Amino acid sequence: MALESAAAYRVIHPRVRHRRPAPLRWYRRNERNVLGLAGLVSFFALWQVGSDLGVIDDLFFSSPSAVFLAAIREVQIPRFWRDVQYSLTEVTVGFLASFVLAVPLGLAIGWYRRVSFAADPWLNFLNAIPRPALSPRSSYPRPFRSSRPACVWPSGACSSASSWRSCTRRPRASA
C-alpha cells in the first residue's frame, strides 16, 4: 500500500538551465550600453540622412558631419582655447565662491532658528524665479573680462533650501 500511494505523488526534478549563446549573454550584460549607443547612432544617422535629403534646412541645422568638421577647425585655433580657459576659470571661481558662501550660510540657516526666519523670504523669492531667468551670463559682472566667452553655462544650482527645510524640520512639541 505504501508503494501504491508513493506513485500518486509527482516527483519534481531540478530545472535544467540551458546555457544561452555567448553573444546573447554579452548583450544581456551590456543591454543598457548597447541600447544607449544605438539610440545615439540612430539619432545622428537620421539627422545626417535628413540633412542630405534636404528635409532639414541647412540654414537652421547643419549636418552632423559639417558640425564635426567645423569643430575640428575651431579646436585648432588658439583663441578657442583662450575662451575655454576664461569660461572654465569663471565657472571654477563661481563654484568655489558659492561653496565658500553657501555652505556656512546653509549650516547657519539649519542650526539657528532666527537666521532661518531671516533667510526664508529671500529663499522663497529666489525659488519663485524661473531657472532660465537666472542663466543669462552676459548680464552678470565678470571678474575676468574676456573678449567673448566660449560658451554659456547653465545655472540651475540656485535652488531653494526652504523646501528641503520644511520637509526635514520636525514639529516642535508644545509646552
Query: What per-residue confidence (pLDDT) applies to 150?
Result: 45
User: Does residue 92 sit in the same domain as residue 146?
Assistant: yes
C-alpha 155/C-alpha 124 separation (Å) is: 17
Query: What per-residue confidence (pLDDT) applies to 52?
Result: 92
* Prediction pTM value: 0.49
C-alpha 133/C-alpha 135 separation (Å) is: 6
155 or 66: whose pLDDT is higher? 66
> Where a domain ends, among 76, 107, 139?
76
User: Does residue 71 sit in the same domain as residue 85?
Assistant: no
Average pLDDT over residues 7-19: 83
Answer whether residue 130 is part of any domain. Answer: yes
pLDDT digits (tens, 9 = 90+) for 95-152: 999 899 999 999 999 999 999 999 999 999 988 988 777 766 555 555 555 544 444 4
User: Does residue 51 sit in the same domain as residue 122?
Assistant: no
pLDDT band at 166 (very low <50, low <70, confident <90, very high): very low
Query: What per-residue confidence (pLDDT) applies to 11?
Result: 86
C-alpha 68/C-alpha 52 separation (Å) is: 15
pLDDT band at 51 (very low <50, low <70, confident <90, very high): very high
Which range of residues forms the domain containing residue 61? 33-76
C-alpha 95/C-alpha 102 separation (Å) is: 10
Buried b (16+ CB within 10 A) or exposed e, 139-164: eeeeeeeeeebbeeeebeeeebbbee
pLDDT band at 4 (very low <50, low <70, confident <90, very high): low
User: Does residue 99 sit in the same domain as residue 142?
Assistant: yes
pLDDT band at 28 (very low <50, low <70, confident <90, very high): very high
User: Does residue 98 sit in the same domain as residue 135?
Assistant: yes
pLDDT band at 163 (very low <50, low <70, confident <90, very high): very low
C-alpha 68/C-alpha 48 separation (Å) is: 12
Query: What per-residue confidence (pLDDT) applies to 33?
Result: 96
Answer whether residue 153 is part of any domain. Answer: yes
Answer whether residue 128 is part of any domain. Answer: yes
User: Does residue 56 sit in the same domain as residue 107?
Assistant: no
Count of domains forming the chain: 2
User: Does residue 128 sit in the same domain as residue 116?
Assistant: yes
